[in-house]
Chain A
Amino acid sequence: MVGTKMIETLHTFTSGDFTGLMPEIILCAFVLLISIYDFMSKNKDKEIVSYLTQIGLLATLISVLSLIGDTAAGDKAYVAYNGMFVLDNFAIFLKAVVLMVAVMTVAISHKYNKEAGYESGEYYTLIMFAVLGMMIMVSGGDLISIFVGLELMAIPCYFLTGVFKKDSRSIEAALKYFLMGAFSSAVLAYGISFVYGVIGSTNLEAIASFFDLAVIAKAKAGVGMAVTPEIMSAASAELATRLSNPIFYLVLVLFAAGFGFKIAAAPFHMWCPDVYEGAPTPITGFMSTAVKAASFAIFLRVYATGLFALHVNWAFTLGILSALTMTVGNFLAVTQKSVKRMLAYSSIAHAGYIMMGLVSIGIVTFDGVTLSINRIDDGMASVLFYLVTYAFMNLGPFIIIMMLRTKRNSGEMMADFHGLGKRAPILAALMLLFMFGLTGLPPTGGFIAKYYLFYAAVKANFTWLTIVACVNTAVSAFYYFRLGMVMYMYEPKIDEEINASPKAVHAVLYICVLVTLWIGIFPDKFFEAAKHSLMRLKYLL
């Protein structure tokens, strides 16, 4: 390169580029090796591939957890690849959750796919790629890397939805998901292009400093000059025009549509019931927990850093979307005959609850001179806390649906649950427990998680939203408990024996139960962990 003129300085790799990215590198190595192994091996039974995938994901999980110590000491978060990659405790927290859910998903998938006749190694490869995408996404320090990570997460999910390709529901769901997903990604990219057009960068740090009074004043004063009061007031005026730049309304609308699609917020939720119903049940569980957690995390990261300054502009709109989302989800869930579809609507409703935490991350006021940001730390932590709790208590019901599948019955319909208390007392009891959790009743984690969300919303002056959420919780209790009534008060409609499930499925189910109860009874540690990881969020305003 000697003698060549450069427009960018050459990238010199530092140890942070590798240490911080080690989990991704390990996972990437595993996924490539496993796909080659799967291609070479003549074995039609993919059990070994499934085990290898679990080993790969667990190794990645260990390497993620080993990074905790490195970033615990405050500002030592890794920022690598020109700010494209940020490894803070927030990212580690999310990566750990996503990897755990992924391991559980893989562990329960093998027998299910085999019985349906859709055994393939690519299934596991695609799950690992989706996890890799989520890991890049939750560590994104730049809208570009966030966008690429988002696509790397979404595209495997489109394929995984359509994996049961002789089932028309599965194919229809995959096509719908793909078309709408592609469209929403385009909308998001359009929004990002406006951010670049105004700010000149897509970096989250640059967006944050765009609204930073001190940075503006320094730039106005010039290099090495003192900031005089005149310059300060000019900077304030500049900040005021920046905050009221109308283009940000458009950016926020486009972002809300792009991210709102991924978390299935109304009115961008139309794909959700069909996709959740058509996809293989383990994948439905995966999408409604891991994908949702990662998407919400990135929503939080983008809105709590750069766009926090515009809180006044987006909080109310997102609040309305939140109210709409939970109402639509809950009211449509009531009429469903398929339990899987009911859970899809319930997951829409839960997205609405979590958005409530998103709007109550703080109160921002601009008095014409300075921008004062009062963060509500509990509000931010409640989002993360809810995501973890929800991941475990929502995966559980899908596992039970999966276990109820027999030769002639899908296990997805209300009829399959008739008299389940007599047919399989333990499964029925566990299902009831998960329904308690989803309603938000003690002693499950669902109660504590909802409590923190409501508390944060009241603190952030969103009392009206809290009232809407309370009414919605009452509505949701109706259909969750109806399932309980169907299980215990009705006579069984199906006389088929319930198949024995492998030990791994039972183990995963009990892990979900234990974590749901554990979070419910000892929430402090989890909440502190969530809060701690958020306080270390890089570029937090």
Chain B
Amino acid sequence: MDFVFYLFGITGLVSAVGVVAFRNPIHSALALVAALFSTAGIYILLDAEFLAVLEVIIYAGAIMVLFLFVLMCLNIRELKALPQFNKKIRPFAIGITAIFLVDMVYLITKSQFGVGELATGKYTSEQVAAIGSNAKALGQVLYTRYLLPFEAISLLLLVAMIGAILLMKEGLGRK
């Protein structure tokens, strides 16, 4: 089991780095698909099959297709020829990230997780299995405990749509 986890973890990380590092946007997009699949694999290891399926269908499926559509509308040769704007700050950025990474690894290995009274919660694999399926549990939790944030997120999606309409609207900016 551990081996599978590390396998997914490492492929996920490597492909995530690939997303930022590749110069060809199509390669980046494909690396992103790999990263999303690895995440889905980790979800399966955590007994969250439903999330894994969503990850593959929505992200790796629908959203990536949209990405690729947009990329096809662009001239990739031009994109590749664009100068990289962040070359000068690169050593600085890598330095800060490295320091932060070391700190984080140190702190996380030293820390204790799941120590609170509430930490042994009710969303364990056994409990979820007892009520039926993953999707069922997720639905129940979303519509009970997380009802208010759930509604707020629906407004958030509306805002994203209205905003996109605003930015694409004809006739704005003509004096």
A7 to B132, CA, bound (A): 10
A268 to B85, CA, bound (A): 20
Q: For the complex, count residues of B whose C-beta is within 8 A of A.
A: 51
| Chain B stretch 44-89: residues in CB contact (< 8 A) with chain A | none
Q: Is the CB of A156 within 8 A of B159?
A: yes
A43 to B114, CA, bound (A): 58
A125 to B127, CA, bound (A): 43
Indicate the member of A80, A116, A122, A145 with the most B CB atoms within 10 Å.
Answer: A122
A80 to B172, CA, bound (A): 42
Binds B, one of A47-55, A196-204, A358-366, A378-386: A196-204
In this complex, what residue of A is CB-closest to B127? A7
Indicate the member of B103, B104, B130, B162 with the most A CB atoms within 10 Å.
Answer: B162
Indicate the member of B121, B148, B149, B159 with the most A CB atoms within 10 Å.
Answer: B148
Contact pick for B167, options A4, A6, A144, A159, CB 8 Å:
A159
In this complex, what residue of A is CB-closest to B153? A148
The secondary-structure label for the interface of chain A is: helix
Q: Is the CB of A247 within 8 A of B107?
A: yes
| Chain B stretch 122-175: residues in CB contact (< 8 A) with chain A | 122-123, 127-128, 130-132, 137, 140-141, 143-149, 152-153, 155-156, 158-160, 162-163, 165-167, 169, 172-175
**Contacts A5-B131, A35-B162, A123-B166: A201 and B149 contacting too (C-beta < 8 A)?**
no
Contact pick for A215, options B117, B128, B148, CB 8 Å:
B117
A320 within 8 A of B: no
A138: B residues at CB distance < 8 A: none
B120: A residues at CB distance < 8 A: 200
Q: Is the CB of A197 within 8 A of B114?
A: yes
A108 within 8 A of B: no
Chain B nearest CB, measured from A215 CB (Å): 7
Q: Is the CB of A118 within 8 A of B172?
A: yes
Q: Is the CB of B163 within 8 A of A145?
A: no
Q: Is the CB of A11 within 8 A of B147?
A: yes
Q: Is the CB of B116 within 8 A of A250?
A: no
Provide 21 A-B residue pairs closer than 8 Å at the C-beta atoms, listed in order of the A residue.
Answer: A6-B140, A8-B140, A84-B146, A84-B149, A116-B175, A117-B175, A118-B172, A125-B162, A129-B159, A136-B152, A142-B149, A144-B149, A155-B163, A198-B114, A200-B116, A200-B117, A200-B121, A201-B116, A206-B116, A215-B117, A249-B107
Chain B residues with a Cβ under 8 A of chain A: 103-104, 106-108, 110-123, 127-128, 130-132, 137, 140-141, 143-149, 152-153, 155-156, 158-160, 162-163, 165-167, 169, 172-175
